[in-house]
Structure 1
């Protein structure tokens, strides 16, 4: 099957890094949140694609470990006929002159993180993670491939003084590959820093990228500016962010807003 270039969605990765810098939990806590993201661009095609991602997150954990379930609703307009969304990419539909609307339940994600080393001074904390993308999105509607993805990686977090929180995330994703798609496994990376203006206000600047999922495709590359506002010391609050794509494999721009409650 032919392939279209990559469609990229960062989906509050910066906010997840920023959200914990001033709201560490000594005891396990339940967090429920929702975020709505919008991305727009041609993504290297002849069509302007509008991509919406509405995610509900349920997380349980403390400062050392956490488990998170993400259930998304997705909608895309301007999607080439015959194309399929998968893992933030769009494949198939090459040569099509028609576009369509596709919407419905997306692929559900389950992630687990566990801190194996608490850093101090110039030594960062080390938090390995594992993620599973379940192929729950409709194959007939073009919202997914019906295949699972598996990702492993590690997060590094540092504290400089009382206000700076640099971080880096490195991962490797084994991509589910239906017959005829010829998708590739990819490396994923993020690098950035959060700055606490106060106990409530946190600003994050992050670079995010990955390898291209299809041979010859443009690798996603984005810069993200995010702001978290904590309403409670436990971390309940809201977030907004701006995304600027730096390659043909990314959206031209994206925006997002969300909130969470820590019980």
Structure 2
């Protein structure tokens, strides 16, 4: 499972399709001894997300996880900063939720910041010959401030699956996620799909590059879906440290015009 798919955002608060593109590493490690990891980074997105007004989002997530055999569990809590009209609700997380516009709030442009929503996740590597495959589930718990427009105040849940096939130096991958969003006051959100597909290229040593396409259905029926191109570079720095950089470009009105960031990870325990 130590198979890192590019999306996802980070996610991404940004939608699931926007999760940081850390390049996949062929194969899975099913050692029964636990491996712990901690990661952080900076994620930035800019665009109007279909609102007609510019929205700037910065997130600094702190993620902790543990892997034992074929199972991995993780928790993530971000600090977020949003500059946008006050009527824009800009949740930051990986479950594919949209930017929401609340007509009961003023449209004055403001900057607000604070803790985002807590995300809990679990994944399981499937014992499939010839490919790397996993299934996963996640929950977003509403710890972000609703008054500041940093969250919806409702819990969201998702399930998904990922698959990849190492072919020499190139590893094609694909993934799909189904999100069940809670309905914030004044909104009715539908369940939605998101997905991504692309390929990772091993550059030599531990370095790899990734390029892919990501899509997320808007939970608001009349809203614009999110489509974007994502890419990134990832490498180990020593035995325990890893570094990644990534970027994205929007292909639809519902996507950020541009995004990017950097990730730093530390693993230990084996």
Q: What TM-score range do you get, normalising by the shorter chain?
A: 0.7 to 0.9
Q: Is residue 222 of structure 2 the alignment partner of residue 212 of structure 1?
A: no
TM-score by length of 2: 0.85
Q: Is residue 124 of structure 2 the alignment partner of residue 114 of structure 1?
A: yes
Segments of 5+ residues of structure 2 without an aligned counterpart are: 1-12
Aligned to 1:53: 59
Shift of the 62–12 alpha-carbon distance from structure 1 to 2, 3 Å rule, reads farther
Cα distance, 1:45 vs. partner?
A: 2.4
Q: Is residue 249 of structure 2 the alignment partner of residue 251 of structure 1?
A: no
Q: Would you say the 8 A contact 2:51–2:101 is kept in 1?
A: no
TM-score by length of 1: 0.87
Aligned to 2:143: 136
Cα distance, 1:113 vs. partner?
A: 0.6
After superposition, the C-alpha distances for 1:99-122 in whole angstroms (9 at most, x for unaligned) are 2112111111111110122331xx
- Relative to structure 2, which stretch is displaced further, 240-249 or 21-30? 21-30
Segments of 5+ residues of structure 1 without an aligned counterpart are: 1-6
Q: Would you say the 8 A contact 2:47–2:257 is kept in 1?
A: yes
Aligned to 1:76: 82
Number of equivalences = 249
After superposition, the C-alpha distances for 1:193-232 in whole angstroms (9 at most, x for unaligned) are 1111112211011211111121211100111111001123
Cα distance in 2 for partners of 1:155, 1:207 equals 14
Structure 1 runs (4+) deviating above 6 angstroms are none
- TM-align CA RMSD: 2.1
Aligned to 1:100: 110
